[in-house]
Amino acid sequence: MHRRLATALATTTLSLVTVVATATAAGAAPADKPQVLSSWTQTSASSYNAWAAARANQGAWAAYGFDWSTDYCSSSPDNPFGFPFSMSCARHDFGYRNYKAAGSFSANKGRLDSAFHEDLKRVCNAYSGGTRTACNSTAWTYYQAVRAFG
């Protein structure tokens, strides 16, 4: 009787350990999460485009556990003077939130802020003349704000 009970208990315990280990492994983010995060937070247009495509298909990236939440340009206008800065602000939020969660924000803040400025300047490149100048001045102001207060 004791032997059957001990065998049943050992089998149950082994099954429980296997289930818990499998659940833990399944809940872990893929090993390449830092590389993916880095690739989406560079200063280039291709990095921005890859992030935008992923943002449009967030479900495909669910296993990574990225924080896609945004308040866009926080307390500043999302579209100052009609310049559409909201998506640049959303990518900046993405970088800040995910690097903070990873515990490596300080090491990446400068690049995130530079990427933000490059994104804003790409928005401004759609304009010409005085409008482009005004847009670039506004972009510079937003960039300086995040460098100082972000």
- Spacing of C-alpha 72 from chain mean position: 13
User: pLDDT tens digit string along 87-124?
Assistant: 999 999 999 999 999 999 999 999 999 999 999 999 99
How crowded is residue 48: how many other Cβ atoms within 10 Å of its Cβ? 20
User: Of 89, 91, 92, 143, which one is the catalytic site residue?
Assistant: 92
Maximum separation of any 2 CA atoms in the chain, in Å: 91
Q: What are phi and psi of 34, to 5 degrees?
A: -60, -35
Contact 68, 55 (CB under 8 A): yes
Task: Tell the CATH topology of 31-149.
Answer: Phospholipase A2 (1.20.90)
The domain locations on the chain are: 1-30, 31-149
- Report pLDDT for 53: 98
- The encoded tokens of residue 14 equal 């082994």
Query: Is pLDDT above 80 for 4?
Result: no
Q: What is the mean pLDDT of the chain?
A: 88
pLDDT band, residue 2 (cuts 50/70/90) = very low
117 is an active site residue:
no
Tokens of 85: 């800065």
Give mean pLDDT, residues 17-46.
77
| Stated pTM of the model | 0.82
112 burial level (CB within 10 Å; 0-12, 13-18, 19+): buried
